[in-house]
Amino acid sequence: MLDALRARSVEKLPARVALEGRILFLCEDAGLVRDQLAGRDLAWTPAIKLRDDISTDEITPAYICYYYDETLGEFPYLGLKCGQEFPITRGSVKRGGFAVSVSGKRRGKGSSREQSPYAEMCAGVKLVVAENIERIYRENCQNLGIFTTTDFGILDKLRRREEIPLSTFTDGEGEITRGIIEYGGLFNYNVARLQGKVVLTPPAPRAAKRPMTLGEKILARHWVVDPSKGKIGVPAVKPGDEGFVLTDIRFSHEYVTPMAAIFFEQLVGKDAKVNDPGSILMFRDHLTFLPEAMTPERIKEGLLDVALELEKKQRAFAEAQGIKLYGELRLGHHGSEAICHSKILESHALPGQVIIGSDSHTPHAGAVGCVAFGVGTTAIFNSWITKDVRLQVPETVKVVLRGRKPTNVTAKDFMLEILRHPYVKSGKAIGKLVEYCGDAVESLSVDERATMTNMTAEVGGFTGYVAPDAKTVDYLMEYRGMMRDEAERVMGGLASDADAEYCEVIEIDAAAIRPMIALPGDPGNGLHIGEPETRIKVDIAYAGSCTAGKKEDMDMYARVLREASERGTRVAPWVKFFIQCGSQDVKRYCEERGYLDIFRQVGATFLEPSCGACINAGPGVSKTRDEVTISAINRNFPGRSGPGQLYLANPYTVAASALTGYITPWEPPSN
Ligand code: SF4
């Protein structure tokens, strides 16, 4: 495959580009949008208010993302709200012949969902103009070959049908971004890189040693110096360095794999083989329970059939490529072999590795001291070719937790405390490496550390990690079957230098933390339980997900529920309580310890592993706005797990609340 790509013709775009097509202004006035769709060009002036804050959810609502090919071109902006109306209908943008899409502030807010710019591209959009554009959305546009600009002066030139200088889009960009734009997208850029047409300027600091954080050290070890000669690793990197790093593991799930597979088949070749399939993993985890959660209306529209195609496409691609797929259970009931993050940590990640995944909670694996981070579809697809991924070295934030935590406080409470810290809450940790340390972190098991690194996604960090230590050695011996000296050797040199530079150090007293909840709407809405003045009655308790479906989480649920069982207490009659493991390994662990019997005795419903309720796609979701859920998952953004009120809490609290029917911290029995 690499030889074929090296022989392929790839050139930079011309110095001036023609962007032929109409201009679509996404205005607040639904009538103006409808007029444009009907064929009338809008004589826009700044007096006409453009829509601000257009999120990727509005560009392609979640159910649209069940489509993964050019069909997406039928759907851009279907969720766009103008006043109280949704003026854009299926196919109307494509039929309108628009090449340019214009909006106001913060274009592309929200998830890293690459279906959004891809849907725009497939509908004919070549240029996005907005007052400002969110980083990931902008990067995804560039990767796909869509131009972006914040210069509204371009509109007059387009109306005069002038060709636009390519430099309009590249001026002020870093070397790699500039190259990606000039080659019309990440794929062409990477082909040029494989051919040696792109030679990155080695930044001077890379030659010189400097004190580094653990995250920086791992990136330096993986820095791609010369891909044609396989030269990897530099003595040092520093924040701001831009380049590519070699990955050890690349994984994706059924929401993303099919689109990446389409890109691969179309751009590389239907019969081409991915580079090193042994280091690629795929997962069927997000939507296995969807048939139980989708509304009858959506099923009638055919969306369930569309969603089921995601599983089929991923399975066919994995089989054809010889890629290991952790698939759906074929036992006559729903469920998955494992949630991606759970399995990567349990069976694959090693200290010092670089891991990329198609999911924002990829930092989960940082619990064993690796750099693991989420990327978009194009980056995953390109990594199947090059094995590497583009990045800019972030600054590092150190979060130090000291002191002895109370017994009923867990890593989840640590994170809810961190998430309400002003530095984090104000967004300053966005895009940073987050290093968790201090004796309170060292005292945690690897499972509990994973709750922290997982929720680095909620912090907004690039990734989170805990430096490997004696607990990591024990974990590797137990989970990977390593000998002690082998595990210790893997960890060699994996610690931050004493004089490493941090952009911020956050100190937290773990002894002062009490069991917490996050109020509905945002994981940053943390309070100690009891701070809200009224008791909060719950209808649903959910104990599961990648964050809270690990063995130690099950130990916590079982501890509370065993006490209840011994007292003859059951789940409150008005509460539906669901417990769901992160993997079949965790389920086996529960079986061996008799946990499943305990769960049954108290009236909890045990579910096979899967994402399910965590992504509004399985048992445990709320059905109405009034329903109240207490949940151990990682985020409670509006609509995340149904339309109801979703409170976050630690596993002990979730189990205790299921029993009392009100949000209740678990109180350990006094001896
Ligand atoms: S359990 Fe939830 S947070 Fe974890 S991977 Fe699945 S959907 Fe994402």
- At 53, the pLDDT band (50, 70, 90 cuts) reads confident
**Residues 152 and 133 sit within 8 Å (Cβ to Cβ):** no
- At 202, the pLDDT band (50, 70, 90 cuts) reads low
Distance CA 387, CA 152 (A): 38
Write down the pLDDT at residue 243.
92
Atom of ligand 1 nearest to the CA of 457: 3
For residue 666, which of 544, 577, 562 has the smallest C-alpha distance?
Answer: 562
Write down the pLDDT at residue 204.
47
Instruction: Determine phi and psi for 210, rounding to 5 degrees.
Output: -150, 155
**Residues 545 and 633 sit within 8 Å (Cβ to Cβ):** yes
- pLDDT digit string (tens) for 408-421? 999 999 999 999 99
Q: How far is the CA of 210 from the centre of ligand 1 (A)?
A: 37
The residues near 321 (Cβ < 8 Å, ≥ 6 apart) are 273, 274, 277, 280
Q: Mean pLDDT, to the nearest integer, of 484-497?
A: 96
- pLDDT digit string (tens) for 100-147? 999 998 898 767 789 999 999 999 999 999 999 887 899 899 999 999
| Mutational test site, ligand 1, from 289, 345, 358, 361, max ligand atoms within 8 Å of CB | 361
Q: How far is the CA of 614 from the centre of ligand 1 (A)?
A: 6
- At 221, the pLDDT band (50, 70, 90 cuts) reads very high
Write down the pLDDT at residue 474.
98
Write down the pLDDT at residue 196.
87
Range with the lowest mean pLDDT among 12-21, 228-237, 432-441? 228-237
Q: How far is the CA of 6 from the centre of ligand 1 (A)?
A: 38
The residues near 396 (Cβ < 8 Å, ≥ 6 apart) are 213, 215, 216, 239, 432, 433, 434, 435, 500, 501, 502, 503
Q: How far is the CA of 473 from the centre of ligand 1 (A)?
A: 27
Q: How far is the CA of 611 from the centre of ligand 1 (A)?
A: 5
Q: How far is the CA of 47 from the centre of ligand 1 (A)?
A: 43
Write down the pLDDT at residue 209.
84
Q: How far is the CA of 286 from the centre of ligand 1 (A)?
A: 7
The residue whose CA is least distant from atom 4 of ligand 1 is 546
**Residues 107 and 61 sit within 8 Å (Cβ to Cβ):** no
The residue whose CA is least distant from atom 6 of ligand 1 is 611
Write down the pLDDT at residue 295.
86
The secondary structure element, H or E, covering residue 506 is: strand 504-509
Distance CA 192, CA 522 (A): 43
- DSSP labels, 182-208: HTTSHHHHHHHHHTTS--PPPPGGGGS
Write down the pLDDT at residue 61.
86
- pLDDT digit string (tens) for 239-250? 999 999 999 999
Write down the pLDDT at residue 205.
46
Distance CA 244, CA 225 (A): 8
Q: Mean pLDDT, to the nearest integer, of 26-34?
A: 97
Write down the pLDDT at residue 207.
53
Query: Which residues contact ligand 1 via a Cβ below 6 A?
Result: 286, 339, 341, 359, 361, 545-546, 611, 614-615, 633-634
Atom of ligand 1 nearest to the CA of 614: 2
CB-facing half-sphere around the CA of 117: CA atoms within 13 A: 32
Write down the pLDDT at residue 400.
98
Residue 190 has pLDDT above 90, yes or no: yes
The secondary structure element, H or E, covering residue 250 is: strand 249-253
- At 200, the pLDDT band (50, 70, 90 cuts) reads confident
- pLDDT digit string (tens) for 613-655? 998 889 999 999 999 999 999 999 888 898 899 999 999 999 9
Atom of ligand 1 nearest to the CA of 544: 1
- pLDDT digit string (tens) for 377-404? 999 999 999 999 999 999 999 999 999 9
How many other C-beta atoms lie within 10 A of the C-beta of residue 606? 17
Query: Residue 506 corresponds to which amino acid?
Result: I
**Residues 254 and 283 sit within 8 Å (Cβ to Cβ):** yes
Range with the lowest mean pLDDT among 59-63, 73-77, 315-319? 59-63
- pLDDT digit string (tens) for 542-585? 999 999 999 999 999 999 999 999 999 999 999 999 999 999 99
Residue 454: alpha-carbon gap to chain centroid? 10
The secondary structure element, H or E, covering residue 253 is: strand 249-253
Residue 530 has pLDDT above 80, yes or no: yes
Write down the pLDDT at residue 261.
97
The pTM for the full model equals 0.91
Reported residue count of the chain is 671
Beta-ladder partners of 27 = 50
For residue 66, which of 256, 349, 238 has the smallest C-alpha distance?
Answer: 256
**What average pLDDT does the chain have?**
94
